Structure 1
Amino acid sequence: MIPQFQRYITKWGLTVRQTIDLDGDRMTSLLQALGSPERSVPVIHIGGTNGKGSTGAFIDELLRAHGETVALFTSPALIDVHDQLRLNGRLVREEELDRAFEELVAVDVTAELTEFELLTVIAFLVIRAWNPTYAIIEVGLGGRDDSTNVVLPEVAILTSIALDHVAVLGSTTEQIASVKAGIIKPSRPVVVGTLDEDARRVVETVARMQEAPSFFLGTDFTVETPLPETYRGEKTYTWSSRLLEGVHQASNAAVALAALEAIGYPLDASRVTAAIERTTYAYRFEQVREFVWLDGAHNEAAARALVASIEQKWPGHLIDVAIGMLARKDIRAVVDVLRPVVSNWYCVDFDNEEAARGSDVQALIGPSARVVTLDDMRAMIDAPRTTPLVMTGSLYLLAQL
């Protein structure tokens, strides 16, 4: 469930489907009845397995640095539904959501939407009322049949493709790429991050079929690391620091720049540098205390990116890791990737109906791992430390710390 969203649903007398049911027809007919709010402003549509949030944050900061008004729709919620929809960085207000619900119930709502479909419709209505110069829309799940895939974007972005949500999207990167490439639209550019060969072939094929100009990281544009970093695409941009730490964030910044170049957006070099350097995003290798970091590495690919960040920041050193994950994730794969850089493990019991028990995670790691509560973790965050601690896994865990 989306935190705090149910009270709006109840308040306005609506019901939602309780199962994931990817059917775009329900969305299309309802949006038409509402006057197609999803077509009201220029959209940048972001899909992929990992990196969507960070790439969206870079684009948001870049556009705002150039004087644009930007709406941002992301998922999942970090704290509650209000942080999923922002205008120039501020969270959507309760009265703005209420006005959108009022507009929705004024039409004959015959289709029972899933919770995320309903949120997507509400987001489009709020964005239309805001009338920003750009809206950045993040895919919820997959791509082809996702409720956000009713937009006709200025550019589509595929940040990465890796194994995640395999029960719904497929068990190979080729299958997942086929679903995620469904956001590519006819004659609209698509910008693509780092993919394996199988996934890339799928995306290239879909782009050709859609006659969509395609731009791939490493081929059509590049980023040179380590810091100071240099982007080379249509033009060259450099920056000497990033608040968003991690090797992989250089790639996300490059994808963001390539997307704006793909739509012909006029970028100013000094504003690009300032925007890249000051971009932040919660729970992406985020330092919250001295020697304490939060990172939402909830699948194998994200864990590999986290390990690369750890090895870059503390070369040759082991660190402490606290982990809590949803039971449906491939916990063993994440643990196995992290294991070479970990000295002490803490397995967290946290409040979510889908959460794996700390003892189950401990069983995958070994008896040396400690099972801890959320209160234990909060105390560890506040206690003085002399060695690094990274808290990772589910975003739902990190939001409770």
Structure 2
Amino acid sequence: MPAPRKKTRANGEGTIYQRKDGRWEAAGYLLATDGTRKRVRVYGSTRREAADKLTEKMAASNSGHPVPSAQGSVGAYLTYWLDAVAVHHLRENTHTRYTTCVNRYVIPGLGKKKLTKLTAKDIRTWLNQLRTTCQCCTRGIDARRDQPRCCAAGQCCHKLLSPLTLTYIHSVLKSALEHAVREEEIPRNVARNVRTGTPRPRRFEPLTTDEARQLLTAAQGHRLHALFELALHTGLRKGELLGLRWEDLDLDAGTAAIRRTLQRTGTGGLTTLPTKTRASERRIALPTRCVQSLKLHHEQQERERESAGSTWQHDGHVFTTAQGRPIDPTNLTRAFITLLRKAGLRRIRFHDDRHSTATLLLEQGVELVVIKELLGHAHIGVTATVYAHVRLRLQRDAIDTLSTALGSPESSHTARDEGDEPPPSAVPVR
């Protein structure tokens, strides 16, 4: 019986073989940054892994994206990573933010350095420079203004990057170098050896209970009353609210399935996308008053459909314009600000509605894990970090209550005489 033939690859697909050390090596000719074609090698623990790495590089090469060599610059590799790798794994808006970050900060600071010679010290020095350098001067912002008010006027305004922005820039570079490690262009990710510190969470001012009541009162009669009520009772994100379809709601059971989000992208306009993470895809319970509001909203939408006639364009969204089209997130923000003004409330972001829901639930004594599931956070640590200041305040209230109970016997006895049971530590959830 003849021995089975060894698997071969077609012309142009490269070569794959097993090395003496047990690893698999794949090699092929790819487009280089200087316009020539050079032989590039990739490695894997299995034949499939090596083949997949080579196929990915070949696909980028065939689409006209040069594959930088190990001796290439950081800028060349970042450009390749954005155009040939990240674009397939990131959402369009996220990819746009990454591209802006790389072109504005990373390439000007580190782009000319050799990828294999980049060190943690280089990254630390660059981040320290970003941290202490006025961006008006560095990026020439002031020079482009009609009325200079910084370096071009001879007086620096010291417009520095926030710690949150510096952490974001560092994370983008770290992601790119992590892929370079996976492709075995570099032995290790030196950006991981640089610590930027943990930035303070962005400050937000959630609505108080009285302010929340004012907002709901002002929303009565608004054509999007059901949306504002649902936002404040469930903490849904703006995109999740606008991405809701009637098929996602079970009003008889009082539940909603959160499966998608509505976003505006640069190429597709208003686009319905899957939820941000797997944890964001969830089923939530709806309060009775929200169920009633949604039923009334459905009746109102039917009346609008009859009035619009042939101009009605509806694809199943719960919240739409008067013509049945999806609502632009920017227009919802404008409507929310107008509603705040009508209610006589301070101006906050729409996302602070979500923070308000979580804060009010915490103050009602609801477990952190329940809030995490309602908000769709990937990890309970995210919930705990964002609302750490609320939990600290509740802890202080609890400690003060205990301190009062452990005070003088007379005060403790008097407090007991006022009722058969001690006061509850939190208001019961309704």
What range is the shorter-chain TM-score in?
under 0.3
Higher normalized contact order (CA 8 Å, seq sep 6+, divided by chain length): 1
Greater percentage in strand? 1
Using the size of structure 1 for normalisation, the TM-score is: 0.23
Using the size of structure 2 for normalisation, the TM-score is: 0.22
